[in-house]
A and B are shown apart, each in its own frame.
Chain A
Amino acid sequence: MAEPVRSLLLAGVGGQGVVLASMIVAETLLRAGYDVKQSEVHGMAQRGGSVFSHIRFGPAVESPLVPEGTAEVLAAFEWAEALRWLQYVRPGGAVVADVRRVVPPGACSDRRAWLSSYPVIDATVLREREVKAHLIDATALAADLGNVRAANSVVLGALAAYLDVGRDYWESTIADLVPRGTAEVNLAAFRSGAEAPAALIDLPAPETGTGFVPARIEVNESWCKVCDICSRVCPEYCLDLDGDTRLVVVAPDACTGCRLCEMLCPDFAITIHHEGQVPALATTGAGP
């Protein structure tokens, strides 16, 4: 059997430059003499959604898509995206991941536990899958070089260390494809990623939620003139008007006790009762 077709996967968040990075990888492999197919999805996903790119190379490539469990390296420009595509990595393959976090607002929506749904950064999740975990703080390395936008080149440098493709092919491609005026910083970033071993980085400790404090909304209807101020500001949409005649608590269980309605009511018609001890949150040094 001839030289087999090989697979790589690149992943990140819309707007991070995943498409350009995968064009650089594909062009590098073409220049190194391989047949290459590279496939990604444009359009809606690029509005801050999850973006991934399949790259396949070898003497003659058929499918542009990587079969599950076959990728040699998954290069992720963001931590949560490294986890999302893990089923594509073959046993013994490598995951090169920037530990940068892009937290979507939807991760901050659990108003019961007040705990972000963003996954904890922890290399053991990867090692349990029998893949090499190569975590780097690419964004910090790029910032040290003077341009955080060069973080992708740091990740590509780390990816290149797993492939037997000449450094010259990488560097000439990067110089040709990155935006004008940024070749120097991107080449420096690429080298720092290629040469720095999987650096020991300080991983933030897992955090805990604060727990839910039930709150109750009390409306004194005889004072309420149905002016609609409270129902227009309630962040949880707890309050609504019944026609123009009456204020109704339509979603009492959604109240988080923020008191906006109580404080903004010009007629002191609303009182919020916190029903329980308000807890303190243990500070971990990490954001959500």
Chain B
Amino acid sequence: MTVDTRVLLSGNEAIAQAAVEAGVQVAAGYPGTPSTEILETLARHGEIDVRWSPNEKVALDVALGASLGGVRTLATMKHVGLNVAADTFMTAAYTGVGAGLVLISADDPGMHSSQNEQDNRFYARLAGVPLLEPSDSLEAKEFTKLAFEISEEFDTPVLVRTTTRISHNRGVVTTEARRVRETLGFSRDPSKYVMIPAYARRRRPVLLERLEELTTYVEESPLTADIAGDSTVGVVTSGIAYRYVREVIPGARVLKLGITHPLPMDRIKSFAAEVDRLFVVEELDPFLEDALRAAGIDVEGKAFFPRAGELSPDAVRKGFAAAGVLEAPAPVPEPPATVVRPPLLCPGCPHTAPFLVLKRIGAVVAGDIGCYTLAALEPLAAMDTCVAMGSSIGMAVGLAASGGTEKPVVATIGDSTFLHGGIPGLIEAVYNEADVTVLILDNGTVAMTGGQEHPGTGVTLQGEDTRPVDLVALCRSVGVDDVRVVDPHDLAATYREIEGAIAHKGPSVVITNRPCVVAPTKVKDHPFTVVAEACTACQLCMTAGCPSIVWTDETFEGRRKVAIDTTTCTGCTLCAQLCPPRAIVLDPEWEAPGRG
């Protein structure tokens, strides 16, 4: 190996590199942390058809279709995205593939940026497909390439499961050249691809036979690796947990499972017989541990290692200490008190004003997944529910149907989330005549994941112009009579339109349309400043939660006056609209860049 071919890649970049090298020709997904950068990286390649789909199910449908069409195909999503795609996934295990089809599920133990921390390894068992778990960037590349081979050899979709610590960890990877196989073309085979009951009944035994063959393969696979060590402690592990085990207890004998479904139970049994104490160390649920127990293997695991949250070297060390295998770690003093720093809506965020209005109105707000979920936190504190992509509208309809509140019921949903999973909810509101108001917070991007394009932006993942979805026409076409559009930087107009829509009997929609301040363009307009002599320190501006506004030393009647950080202020005018004594004015000292 020469130093020149070694590059630092994140796990996501390594998976994209694997797709390039494996000759993938179509890739589809929906943005979701920690999976997003896979397709963003792959899109830069140029020769591969890489696309954002409206949601994960459509992405997997596209991927399955392309696979049946005879080209290697990649589908990517975050863990909860596979819930959306699960319908297709479960039956794709019956149809099998044309050319190789690999699905990446990027799980988020610790919920760094997610609403739950479900362990998607269970999906592989549920569907009956092979499951690969890389433990770093190098393996992310190599396992993904191998997954395409397995997919074709065994005629099955393959699930590659990463976690945040794999996807967003950079490590050293060696790159190789791209090799594209000749396209197989689509072969008509209704008994394999048309899953009517009569045909599906024939495919079910095929699936079970395939699992038997896969088990034999896994028993012999180099991905099942017995790492020599002191046999007083044996550890069965996979994924990132393997790295923590090697870090913390380097002397132990380890059975590293690169493929965790189906399991090489013969190998595991003989390993178990050769060690004095057998542990399973795995992140999240006892997926391996339960399987070992079911096979009659005596094993220790979740009694010592946490089931909730992300593992770490410290958590693994504590677990082995609790088991009496390692000495207890020396106590580390707690860090000193510091300020709480939750994520925030950005200065000038177009989502701020609608939630200020909803807070004042006192509406019951069914929220959704996106940056605007941050409006649940102080000081806006204007959201009552947030469960899953697109859930806001249906939940608002249910809250209204329950009669459990006399307050107006409002759903808030971003543009991309609406196109992902909100449209059926809106149709529900029309069809079953719900008296709810839906706020579509249209900022023209998928903001929370870093500013991706979507079907409403008019631009594809590969940067080409396309026809954007017309949200107003869409809402009207499903039967919403009261559809309003307002600029959320006009506080009075936003108030008026939301109140008007709430007053309307039956479903109504308010679309707040103002681009995100950070993507695709970083907005920097003329900033505002506070005339200290005029500030009465009333704190009304502070109710917006803008990160650019802080207290100063000066007071009025004992209350702290405020100041604006003009370097971060984007000039949205919201605080100036709020300020009763009009103490907030355009910064007279600001010079527009490039106009001097």
Contacts and interface: CB of A to CB of B under 8 A. Distances in A.
A81 B336 CA distance: 11
A235 B538 contact: yes
Interface stretch (B320-328, B338-346, B416-424, B507-515): B338-346
A163 B169 CA distance: 22
Contacts of A84: 335, 338, 341
A69 B317 CA distance: 13
B113 A235 contact: no
Contacts of B537: 258
B340 A104 contact: yes
Contacts of A167: none
Contact of B448 (A30, A43, A237, A263): A43
Interface in A94-112: 103-109, 111
Interface stretch (B384-392, B426-434, B555-563): B555-563
A26 B341 CA distance: 26
Given A42-B34, A43-B448, A67 B247 contact: yes
Nearest to A106: B340
Contact of A118 (B136, B164, B339, B560): B339
B337 A119 contact: yes
Interface stretch (B140-148, B371-379, B395-403): B371-379
B339 A107 contact: yes
Interface stretch (B47-55, B278-286, B461-469, B540-548): B540-548
Interface in A234-288: 235-237, 240, 256-260, 263-264, 274, 278-281, 283-288
B170 A36 contact: yes
A284 B551 CA distance: 14
Interface string B355-366: 000011010000
A74 to B, nearest CB: 11
A26 B173 CA distance: 13
A105 B550 contact: yes
Given A64-B243, A106-B378, A39 B335 contact: no
Interface string A114-127: 10111100000100
B552 A63 contact: no
A68 interface: yes
A178 interface: no
Given A87-B333, A288-B551, A80 B339 contact: yes
Q: Which of B112, B250, B338 has the most CB of A within 10 A?
A: B338
A284 B126 CA distance: 64
Contacts of B171: 36-38, 61, 64
B560 A288 contact: yes
Interface in B226-260: 240, 243-244, 246-248, 250
Q: Which of A26, A38, A279, A284 has the most CB of B within 10 A?
A: A38
Interface stretch (A46-54, A153-161, A183-191, A218-226): A46-54
A41 B11 CA distance: 13
A30 B546 contact: no
Interface string A166-178: 0000000000000
A67 B314 contact: yes
Given A83-B336, A263-B580, A287-B552, A105 B344 contact: yes
Interface string B158-200: 0000001100111110000000000000000000000000000
A38 B550 CA distance: 34
A104 to B, nearest CB: 5
A68 B8 contact: no
A288 B333 contact: no
Contacts of A264: 580
B335 A83 contact: yes
Contact of A87 (B112, B244, B335, B558): B335
B6 interface: yes
Contacts of A125: 336
Contacts of B1: none
A260 B557 CA distance: 13
Given A48-B343, A278-B557, A287-B553, A119 B379 contact: no
Contacts of B448: 43-44, 47
A39 B310 CA distance: 14
A39 B551 contact: no
Contacts of A81: 338, 341
Contacts of A284: 553
Interface in B413-463: 448-450
A30 B112 CA distance: 27
B88 interface: no
B451 to A, nearest CB: 11
Contact of B550 (A61, A85, A287): A287
Given A39-B169, A114-B560, A44 B112 contact: yes
Which 3 pairs between the two chains have the least Cβ-Cβ distance? A43-B113, A43-B33, A49-B343
Given A39-B170, A69-B332, 14 more contacts: A36-B8, A39-B168, A42-B34, A47-B345, A49-B344, A69-B330, A83-B338, A116-B551, A207-B553, A232-B360, A235-B538, A235-B543, A258-B559, A288-B560
14 contacts: A30-B6, A35-B172, A36-B171, A47-B343, A47-B371, A64-B240, A65-B165, A84-B338, A105-B547, A105-B550, A107-B339, A108-B542, A256-B559, A287-B551
Interface of A: 13-14, 23, 26-27, 30, 33, 35-50, 61-69, 80-81, 83-87, 103-109, 111, 114, 116-119, 125, 129, 148, 207, 210-213, 231-233, 235-237, 240, 256-260, 263-264, 274, 278-281, 283-288
